[in-house]
Amino acid sequence: MVTVTQSPPPVRHRAPSSASRRTPALPLLVAAWAGGFAVLALWWQNTGSVVGAAGWLNGAGRITGLLCGYMCALLVALMARVPWLERGVGSDRATRWHASAGRWTVGLLVCHIVLITLGYAAQARTNVVSEFISIVFDLPDMLKGTAGAVVLLTVGFVSARAVRRRMRYETWYYIHLLTYGAVFLAFFHQLSIGADFVAHRGAQMAWYALYLGAAALVVWFRVLVPVRLNLRHRLRVETVVREAPGVHSVWVRGHRLDELGAQPGQFLRWRFLTRGMWAASHPYSLSAVPQPDLLRITVKSLGDHSSAAASLAPGTRVWAEGPYGAFTAARRRRRKVLLLGGGTGITPLRTLFETLPATSGDLTLLYRARTADELALRHELEALAARRGARLLYALNAPDGTRVEITAARLRATLPDIAEHDVFLCGPPGLSLAAYDALREAGVPSSRIHYESFDM
């Protein structure tokens, strides 16, 4: 066991990358872009010559409307939590895709509304306000479409990082779920007044297939699969154990949990069916290797939900979804492995520290904390290190409280062959960013830095 001493802070280059994952990401992105080009081809096929300002505005409004409708379907599909996507691509990357799709959808929606209104006003030679009122109240299904647009814009507003940080997670979560209603309300006007769908049966059928396919993913993976999981495994809180100041482990008992398929490094979304906690699910990694009848998570008090976990009563029913995540041994490519983390990032690393195949000296865990009192699961980690012949290193603040930074120089001094390691990195955003930069500077390729975060 070694304690890493203080050194100067690293130079920050860029955020941790998901490039390390050998995943179906590229084919999925190609398919998504191909769908977008197919939408543009639909517009092109149904568009004759474009004449005058009104024609250009209406044409641009149709394009943005079609693309917005297409992005709505992708947005819903990305909300479905399809297990093979979240396990293969990674939950953090799937979340970033969803956030990016949401921004594009809102942007296209605003452009569509503005361009169509301006185009119709120019065509009818009326003022913009009266034309907008006419569009909303006179065209088929536009009241529903307008309601859907208002809801979608509201969801986009509260999902902005600056706004979301000021909201309770549960409030944001339930507003975010209104996306389903917004997409449903906006769907009908696309077919009833969309120039690219009226009298084009094939295009209508393709649009129905796109939306029904996205809806089927949501119903299957967010409703039916979780219902089956919870009826089958019947999860309940067994006990709660204090691990460190503000950190508690929750043991959950269930039936045939070996059939759950959870791997070390993965997480589930947990909903505790008790007052103050049932309203929303939260992602927590497994902090112990799954047993046939027991699972364990370790939670740090960072908000209302995580703080309440410390007072969970034995017997409390649990609703879980998953397992999710690509932060598993399947990402490993080299014989030597460094596990680097801090905070609650130690929880998936603890399971990997126990299970990753390694000979003596090939496995190292570097645990960053402010003080020794904050080293959650310390005794377990030290027992595992002794049993496996692995190295357990602590990076603690100096006695005067001065922060210790993890730098390339310190990493090379501790592990001279650091560039030959696979690295599993998990921790708070600040630690992860700094450690990622230090690892890259120390010569570790981005393809061997495996990182997953829930801070989205």
Q: How far apart are CA 53 and CA 6, in angstroms?
A: 65
User: What is the share, in percent, of the chain residues with pLDDT greater than 70?
Assistant: 93
Average pLDDT, stretch 298-312?
81
Task: Give residue 83's pLDDT.
Answer: 80
Q: Which domain holds residue 276?
A: 234-324
Is residue 60 in a domain?
Answer: yes
Q: What CATH number does the domain containing 348 carry?
A: 3.40.50.80
Identify whether 456 is part of a domain: no
Orientation angle between helical segments 169-193 and 52-78, nearest 10 degrees:
130
What is the pLDDT averaged over residues 89-95?
75
Pick the more confident residue, 306 or 237: 237
Number of C-beta neighbours around residue 205 at 10 A: 11
352 and 423 within one domain:
yes
Rounded percentage of the chain residues whose pLDDT exceeds 90: 48
Q: Which range among 281-295, 354-368, 395-409, 427-441 shows the weakest confidence by mean pLDDT?
A: 395-409
Residue 377 placed within a domain: yes
> Are 317 and 354 found together in one domain?
no
Same domain? 264 vs 131: no
266-270 mean pLDDT: 92
Give, in order, the Cα–Cα distances in Å from 114 to each of 122, 187, 450: 12, 19, 43
Residue where a domain terminates, one of 324, 343, 363: 324
**Does some domain include residue 314?**
yes
In this predicted structure, what is the pLDDT of residue 304?
67
Of residues 3 and 240, more confidence is placed in 240
How would you label 60-99 residue by residue, b for 16+ Cβ within 10 Å and e otherwise? bbbbbbbbbbbbbbbbbbbbbbbbebbbbbbbbbbbbbbe
Hey, what amino acid is at 245?
P
Question: Does residue 5 surpass a pLDDT of 80?
Answer: no
Please indicate, yes or no, whether residues 345 and 243 belong to a single structural domain of this protein: no
My answer on whether 278 and 243 are in the same domain is yes
Number of domains in the chain: 3
The answer on 158 and 114 residing in a single domain is yes
Predicted TM-score (pTM) of the model is: 0.78
Average pLDDT of the residues in 304-312 = 80
Tokens, residue 325: 């995540």
Q: In this structure, are residues 62 and 46 in contact, taking their beta carbons and an 8 Å threshold? A: no
Are 187 and 145 in the same domain? yes
Tell me, yes or no, whether 221 and 97 share the same domain: yes
The verdict on residue 20 lying in a domain is: no
At 276, list the tokens.
């103050």
- 305 and 241 co-located in one domain: yes
Sequence-distant (≥ 6) Cβ neighbours of residue 116 within 8 angstroms: 57, 58, 61, 62, 65, 135
d(C-alpha 252, C-alpha 235), whole Å: 6
| 86 within a domain of the structure (yes/no) | yes
Per-residue pLDDT band at 453 (split at 50, 70, 90): low
Task: Check residue 367 and report its DSSP letter.
Answer: E
Are 312 and 250 in contact by the 8 Å Cβ rule? The answer is yes
Domain end call among 324, 341, 361: 324
pLDDT of residue 281: 83
Same domain, 188 and 152: yes
Cβ neighbours for 97, distance < 8 A, ≥ 6 positions apart: 78, 89
Mean pLDDT along residues 241-270? 92
Question: Based on the domain organization, do 360 and 269 belong to the same domain?
Answer: no
Same domain for 123 and 225?
A: yes
Q: pLDDT grade, residue 65 (50/70/90)?
A: very high
Write down the mean pLDDT value for the chain: 86
Could you say which of 324, 342, 363 is where a domain stops?
A: 324
Kindly tell me if the per-residue pLDDT of 2 is higher than 90: no
Residue 107 has pLDDT above 60, yes or no: yes
What integer is the mean pLDDT of 28-57? 85
Q: Which of 253, 241, 449, 443 is CA-nearest to residue 337?
A: 449
Position 24 confidence tier, pLDDT thresholds 50, 70, 90: low
Cβ(79)–Cβ(223) under 8 Å?
A: no
- Confidence label for 454 from pLDDT (cuts 50, 70 and 90): low
pLDDT for 392-445, tens place per residue? 999 898 887 778 888 999 999 999 999 999 999 998 888 888 899 999 999 999
